A and B are shown apart, each in its own frame.
Chain A
Amino acid sequence: EDQVTQSPEALRLQEGESSSLNCSYTVSGLRGLFWYRQDPGKGPEFLFTLYSAGEEKEKERLKATLTKKESFLHITAPKPEDSATYLCAALSGNTPLVFGKGTRLSVIA
């Protein structure tokens, strides 16, 4: 069974304190690894898709990387507005997107 596990469940950072969120996946034939941001009361907002091991994508203070077993979302010098839940999802074969439970990030000024 395809599984996506995110860690930590919650992370509290001081403004400017860089860190990484982890997404471990167990899927057969990964076609794509997705990162979404979700603010309270809103739907998930697309950030990145990674397709193959070694691929990296960046957007402002966020950089996503992919290996054969996991993906990392690196947050450099975070700001309070980066506070949100970050969701990871994997797509494999003909199965639909499988989401992890998310990491709740709080950035304190």
Chain B
Amino acid sequence: GAGVSQSPRYKVTKRGQDVALRCDPISGHVSLYWYRQALGQGPEFLTYFNYEAQQDKSGLPNDRFSAERPEGSISTLTIQRTEQRDSAMYRCASSPGDPLTEAFFGQGTRLTVV
């Protein structure tokens, strides 16, 4: 596709349910990043993939959060047993090379846990 695509755009879920957020990066982009952005704040790093390898997951808040990119393209961020504090905008970005290269962000998934 022309840009980074995230789905769904909006997700409302009940507390305790699991959710899966999808990111389809720009074709050929090697690096893929997941960020979380609260209103009025800058993006907060969650995790980073180089091809299919998860290079850094230091930003994942706890073990309810996990991510995968099994074929080095589409990635899924999964949140198990969601809590209200998980409500936020989740953004995915991809870049053609290493972290120093320009990263392109998707429109994000707005997650609301009720």
Q: Which residues of A contact B25 (CB under 8 A)?
A: none
Task: Tell me if B107 and A96 are in contact (CB < 8 A).
Answer: no
Complex formed: what's the CA distance from A27 to B25 in Å? 29
Whether B56 pairs with A96 at a CB distance below 8 angstroms is yes
Partner of B48, one of A4, A49, A96: A96
**Count of interface residues, chain A, beta-carbon cutoff 8 Å:** 22
> Do residues A96 and B59 form an inter-chain contact, with CB atoms below 8 A?
yes
- Tell me, rounded to whole Å, the shortest Cβ–Cβ distance linking A68 to chain B: 19
Residues of A close to B4: CB separation below 8 A: 43
| Shortest beta-carbon distance from A76 to chain B in Å | 23
A43: chain B residues within 8 A (beta carbon): 4, 91, 93, 105-108
Residues of A within 8 A of B56 (CB): 94, 96
| Binary contact track B33-48/A, C-beta < 8 Å → 1, others 0 | 1000000111111001
User: Can you name the residue of chain A whose Cβ is closest to the Cβ of B103?
Assistant: A46
The A-contacting residues of B in range 63-114, CB under 8 angstroms, are 91, 93, 99-100, 102-108
Given known A31-B100, A91-B100, A96-B33, contact A44–B43 (CB-CB < 8 A): yes
Q: Return B102 CB to nearest CB of chain A, in Å.
A: 5
Interface stretch (choices A12-20, A56-64, A98-106)? A98-106
| CA distance in complex: A4, B45 (Å) | 13
Q: What chain A residues lie within 8 Å of B33 (beta carbons)? A: 96-97
Q: Which residues of B contact A51 (CB under 8 A)?
A: 100
- Tell me whether A45 is interfacial, beta carbon within 8 Å: yes
Least Cβ–Cβ distance between B93 and chain A, in angstroms:
7
**A87 close to B (CB within 8 Å):** yes
CB of B44 within 8 A of CB of A99, answer yes
Nearest chain A CB to B20 CB, angstrom units? 20
Return chain B residues, CB-CB under 8 Å to A87: 42-43
Give the CA-CA distance A101 to B107 in the complex, in Å. Answer: 18
Closest 6 CB pairs of A and B: A43-B105, A99-B42, A96-B45, A46-B102, A44-B105, A99-B43
Residues of A within 8 A of B (CB): 4, 31-32, 41-46, 49, 51, 87, 89, 91, 94, 96-102
